[in-house]
């Protein structure tokens, strides 16, 4: 599609990417469709998306939407999008993010 619109020379950025990580998945803390992932599943998702998507042609940056959980601001699983819990304690996703991003090159330049 980018070639069709003559945009194939532009880098691709994923912005506001995330998924929740909850201690105990329930319908009450669901997001969009279904029950939110556990904290361990969120950590695996972080590892998978950063390890894979940054290898795709022209993908230059990925921005995780929230550093810290937002309490009850959204009143759904979005409140658990953070890499840290609301009290600033680390979720498994924090270490997953740190590990996967520390193995990336310092500067990614467009192809």
Q: What is the rounded average pLDDT of the residues 70-88?
A: 94
Report the 3 state secondary structure along 37-103.
CEHHHHHHHHHHHHHHHCCCCCEEEEEECCCECCCCCCCCHHHHCCCECCCCCECHHHHHHHHHHHC
Q: What is the rounded average pLDDT of the residues 2-21?
A: 91
Using pLDDT thresholds of 50, 70 and 90, give the confidence band for residue 83.
very high
Q: What is the DSSP pairing of strand 12-17 with strand 59-64?
A: parallel
Q: What is the rounded average pLDDT of the residues 85-107?
A: 89
According to the model, what pLDDT value does residue 111 have? 47
> For 24-69, how does the pLDDT look when each residue is reduced to its tens digit (9 = 90+)?
887 777 776 778 899 999 999 999 999 899 888 889 999 999 999 9
Which residues are 38's β-sheet partners?
22
Give pTM, 2 decimals: 0.85
- Supply the Cα-derived Rg of the chain in whole angstroms: 16
d(CA 89, CA 85): 5
């Amino acid at each position: 599609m980018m070639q069709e619109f003559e945009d194939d020379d532009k880098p691709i950025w994923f912005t506001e990417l995330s998924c929740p990580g909850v201690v105990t998945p329930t319908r009450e803390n669901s997001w969009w469709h279904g029950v939110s992932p556990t904290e361990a599943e969120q950590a695996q998702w972080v590892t998978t998306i950063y390890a894979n998507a940054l290898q795709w042609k022209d993908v230059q940056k990925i921005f995780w939407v929230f550093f810290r959980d937002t309490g009850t601001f959204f009143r759904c699983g979005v409140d658990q999008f953070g890499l840290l819990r609301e009290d600033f304690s680390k979720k498994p996703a924090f270490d997953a993010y740190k590990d996967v991003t520390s193995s990336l090159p310092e500067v990614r330049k467009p192809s």
